[in-house]
């Protein structure tokens, strides 16, 4: 926790310096949010910065081995690797479930999800000696 406190103090100093400049940053996005379709919402950059910082600190303190964005990205590579790969993920998202389905269906690998633990038994993919990948 000491590390997080040091980073938090540094962020407070950066935020204070930003406030002194008087600059106003606005961020606009469209699409959908967790609560449904957005309506061209605008927020001050400071508000977004606080939200993202909070998410970062939560993920650092969670003890997971992958963040919520990387969790589904690693599955295909672990499925191709040789042996067993284990990861602790923040949540089992739809993206994770889709990557697991693809790995099991296309690569015939075994994937087990126990709570937040993801266990992947890789197939040990090897390049065929008859294929020239050098050009």
CA distance linking residue 124 with residue 122, whole number of Å? 6
Would residue 121 show up in a list of annotated catalytic residues for this protein? Answer: no
- Structure token pair of residue 6: 């040091």
85: left (phi over 0), alpha (psi -120 to 50) or beta: beta
* CA distances for 90 relative to 66, 70, 85, angstroms: 7, 10, 16
CA distance linking residue 66 with residue 90, whole number of Å? 7
CA distance linking residue 51 with residue 12, whole number of Å? 14
Question: Which residue out of 7, 8, 51, 95 is catalytically annotated?
Answer: 95
CA distance linking residue 113 with residue 115, whole number of Å? 6
Write out the catalytic residue numbers: 95
């Amino acid at each position: 926790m000491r590390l997080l406190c040091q980073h938090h103090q540094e962020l407070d100093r950066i935020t204070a310096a930003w406030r002194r400049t008087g600059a106003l940053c606005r961020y606009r996005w469209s699409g959908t949010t967790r609560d449904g379709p957005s309506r061209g919402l605008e927020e001050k950059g400071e508000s977004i910065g606080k939200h993202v910082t909070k998410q970062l600190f939560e993920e650092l303190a969670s003890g997971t081995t992958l963040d919520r964005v990387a969790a589904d990205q690693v599955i295909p590579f672990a499925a191709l690797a040789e042996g067993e790969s284990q990861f602790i993920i923040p949540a089992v998202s739809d993206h994770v479930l889709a990557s697991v389905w693809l790995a099991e269906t296309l690569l015939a690998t075994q994937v087990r999800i126990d709570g937040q633990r993801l266990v992947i038994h890789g197939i040990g993919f090897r390049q065929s000696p008859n294929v020239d990948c050098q050009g």
